[in-house]
Amino acid sequence: MNTIKTIVRSMIGLGVIGAMPAVGCFDWADDCELSLTCPLEPTSSSGTGGGGTSPGCIPSENDQPIDDDCGVFVSSSKGDDTGGKGTKAAPYKTLATAVSKANDKPIYACAEALTGSVMLSTGATIYGGLDCTKGWAYIGATTKSMLTGDVDAPALMLASNASGTTIEDFMIQAANATKPGSSSIAVLVDGAMVSLTRCDLVAGDGAIRSGWGRCAEHGGAERCGWYAGRRCVFGGHGAGWQWAHEHVRS
């Protein structure tokens, strides 16, 4: 079913500038939590699907449109965060507002582009891939909902208390970073157990630290120079001036 389980301060779908230090010795292939290959454990609500959601309210398991009383609805094209009521006829406009108004009810997202980073402080159930022009019927097998985060912020953040979160039929996309040295992260999880089913996670480009792009300028005719703690050297063989990361000084 293409389900991903994430756990313990994971950065999933990211574009990072810089290096991450390795601490201790371990085999990534043998650690399913690090390689995100652990099987999902059955829960007491297994059999009802969607983390306890009624089978009649799980889009992928129904041929009919989702009923209004199943939960809260969100559509960027039809919704209104101020005047919306979270119903099929009057949905909210942003996923962040739907999350704040859900009161533990499942959230149903139209299969269209949604913008704005979302923070989940507690567990949530979010279903994407719904056709809001045809009664909110399921089309997630061919068309997903897409969430694009704010610039210089993860698109989706989950706090340690957000364990039990279920998200289905979404593309979660990070915006390109603009702040020097910033990363582009699709999903950031802090110690929570999360289920992502039929979801695509897409990172943008990280932003280069200020000054790092001017190696040739700082190397110049001296053929060697320092900037921001890095040494600029001439690589030769067509490589030209480049940052030598093995030469670092404080």
| 3-state class (DSSP) for residue 217 | helix
Strands 72-74 vs 125-131: parallel, antiparallel or unpaired: unpaired
In a domain, 208, yes or no: no
| Residue 24 in this model has a pLDDT that exceeds 60 | no
- pLDDT at position 179: 85
In a domain, 157, yes or no: yes
In a domain, 209, yes or no: no
What's the token pair of residue 207? 């932003």
Angle formed at CA 180 by CA 176 and CA 182, multiple of 5 degrees: 55
In a domain, 210, yes or no: no
Mean pLDDT of all residues belonging to the chain: 77
Question: Are residues 111 and 24 part of one domain?
Answer: yes
Where in the sequence is the domain holding 91, given as residue range(s)? 3-202
| Residue 43 in this model has a pLDDT that exceeds 90 | no
Identify the residue with better confidence: 238 or 96. Answer: 96
Choose the weakest-confidence range: 19-28, 108-117, 183-192: 19-28
- pLDDT at position 10: 47
In a domain, 83, yes or no: yes
End-to-end CA distance of the chain: 49
The answer to whether 155 and 148 are in contact (CB under 8 A) is yes
The answer to whether 3 and 197 are in contact (CB under 8 A) is yes
| Residue 4 in this model has a pLDDT that exceeds 60 | no
- pLDDT at position 12: 54
- pLDDT at position 206: 83
Percent of the chain with pLDDT over 90: 55
Choose the weakest-confidence range: 79-93, 124-138, 167-181: 167-181
Question: Are residues 243 and 152 part of one domain?
Answer: no
> Across residues 150-175, what is the average pLDDT?
96
Question: Are residues 174 and 80 part of one domain?
Answer: yes
pLDDT digits (tens, 9 = 90+) for 193-247: 999 999 999 998 887 665 444 455 544 434 445 545 555 555 555 555 454 554 4
| Residue 250 in this model has a pLDDT that exceeds 70 | no
Q: How far apart are CA 239 and CA 36, in angstroms?
A: 37
Q: Taking Cα atoms as reference points, which of 108, 101, 100 lies closest to residue 169?
A: 108
pTM reported for the whole predicted model = 0.70
pLDDT-based confidence at residue 86 (cuts at 50, 70, 90): very high
Q: How far apart are CA 13 and CA 155, in angstroms?
A: 10
Q: How far apart are CA 189 and CA 201, in angstroms?
A: 13
Question: Are residues 223 and 170 part of one domain?
Answer: no
- pLDDT at position 157: 97
Question: Are residues 58 and 16 part of one domain?
Answer: yes
In a domain, 51, yes or no: yes
Question: Are residues 221 and 198 part of one domain?
Answer: no
What's the token pair of residue 3? 């389900």
Segment holding 34, helix H or strand E: helix 32-35
| Residue 2 in this model has a pLDDT that exceeds 70 | no
The number of folded domains in the chain is: 2
In a domain, 19, yes or no: yes
